[in-house]
Structure 1
Amino acid sequence: LIDRRSHIGGNAYDCYNEAGILIHRYGPHIFHTNAQSIIDYLSQFTSWRPYEHRVLAFVDGKLLPIPINLDTINHLYGLELSPAELEEFFASRRETVGEVRTAEDVVVSTVGRELYEKFFRGYTRKQWGV
């Protein structure tokens, strides 16, 4: 096992703070896998809790589901788009990006500049300082 840090566990690492309270040093992180073999292996060492991950972003005074989906767009803009109309909505807003080099390029080429600005730009700046 190789880890860059002086402990194992990556971003899921937890430890006791000065007060003796168990904390997530890097904030809470959720384990994800679709591989049954990994679940079977880890099940030898742990029990599992059912968990449905839901994330909301506060945009334009509204709590909206993220990743951006049909509900996000309908609630943000007061629309009642169908799934087919959602694809047309994205197609009308996405921008052509020559070579995709950044997360911004991916988002802008998928859902457009406006949604990038509303949902991702501030997060990227806060999280990564760029």
Structure 2
Amino acid sequence: MSRTDAVRALVRMTRVLERDCGDLGLAHYRVLAAVADGAERASRVARRLALGKPTISASVDALVRRGLLVRGDVAEDARASALRLTADGARALAEIELAMGARLAAVLAHTADPARVRAALAELGPALDAYATVVAAERVRG
């Protein structure tokens, strides 16, 4: 499989999984997932998702209005706010991930070795985090 084939497959898979987000949308799902993974500040969510702060702020505002996220105080920084999933947010995230997991399993069932492909996909998470750290450091250096 070529690099181009891999890129195209990932993009197609993203679209397949996006259908399971319902009216929430993949962008808002990504923010909820980042907050659930411990990125409690909008700046950390932006860095983790490699998006600009204005984009994240708009998503956070929308998720707060929908009752899926709440903002709280950060003890050491009066200017910052901590993001936290509400019970509805946690429930929505769990439902989406259950549906996405089922859809992924259905697609992987058509591969020669579903467990190997699933494991390779799981390795992308830490790799993406490492890549985001390198990109952020390069931006700081200018």
TM-score by length of 2: 0.24
TM-score by length of 1: 0.25
Larger Rg: 1
More contact order relative to length (CA 8 Å, sep ≥ 6):
2
Higher helix share: 2
